[in-house]
Structures are given as structure tokens and as C-alpha cells.
Amino acid sequence: MAFLALAGCKRARTETDEAGPRIDSAQATAAYNALTQGMTAIAFDGLTASHVGRQLAILARTPDRADPPPPPRGMVKRMGDASIYTAELAEIGPDSIKIRAAYPTSGNFKIIEIPRADIQAIHMGK
């Protein structure tokens, strides 16, 4: 068997090897709405320094650029053309916001910057 692997033999691809079903924006929005029950919707312009440190959820377009190192589990959920971010608000800028989440075992934080143009919805925890 090892000889076959070294010789370059590959098994035939099947339907189960292909990527799963494509998620459309309506499904991503429904998942986001379920996640944000009990949270308060807030506009980007409504964010202030007093919100820094609070938990939030953001629905944004999935960036086209290459992925950075993996975030902590649950911080980013990619759903087709949309991404759902759940983390703590770290910084507010004029054209973007930064969110952060702790890696569970190291105590280090992953910080992600989300451009204002990509943000579709923001919900703040109570």
C-alpha cells in the first residue's frame, strides 16, 4: 500500500470529496439573527469609547484577502460570502473597528481589524 502512495497513485474523487453545499447570504443572516437574540443593534457611528471591552457580534462580508493565522475557536464563523465575528470590542477607528478574543490556554489575544465598508450589522451584548 505504501508503494502505491509513493508511486503517485491517487484514489478517484467522489461526490463526497467535494466541498459541502454553498451557504447563501439569507442563511448567514438567519444564523446571525439567531446568534444575536437578546443583543442590541447599534450603528457603526453609534460606537463610542464607552463600548470598548463589551461583547459584540458583527456580520460582515468575507474578505477576499488571504486568511491570517487562525483565530480562537468561535471568534469567526465563515458562511459563504459572509463572516460572523463574536468577540470583545478592542478599538474604534474612523474607517474600521478592532475586535479581540483570548486564546483559551495562552492568555494571548487575537486582534482582527474589520473595515467599515465590510460591516453589514453590529449587535452589542447587554
**What digits encode the pLDDT tens for the residues 39-56?**
999 999 999 999 999 999
Per the structure, the count of domains in the chain is 1
Coil, helix or strand for 77? strand
Is 39 part of a structural domain of the chain? Answer: yes
Q: What is the pTM of this model?
A: 0.74
CB 44 within 8 A of CB 122: yes
Q: Please report whether residue 5 resides in a domain.
A: no
Which residues neighbour 109 within 8 Å (Cβ) at sequence distance 6 or greater?
90, 100, 101, 102, 103
- Res 97 pLDDT > 50: yes
Does 6 map to a domain? no
* 30: helix, strand or coil: helix
- Whether residue 106 lies inside any domain: the answer is yes
- pLDDT 10s digits, 64-84: 765 666 778 888 888 878 888
In terms of residue numbers, what domain contains 67? 22-124
Q: Where are the beta strands (DSSP E) in 42-81?
A: 55-61, 76-79
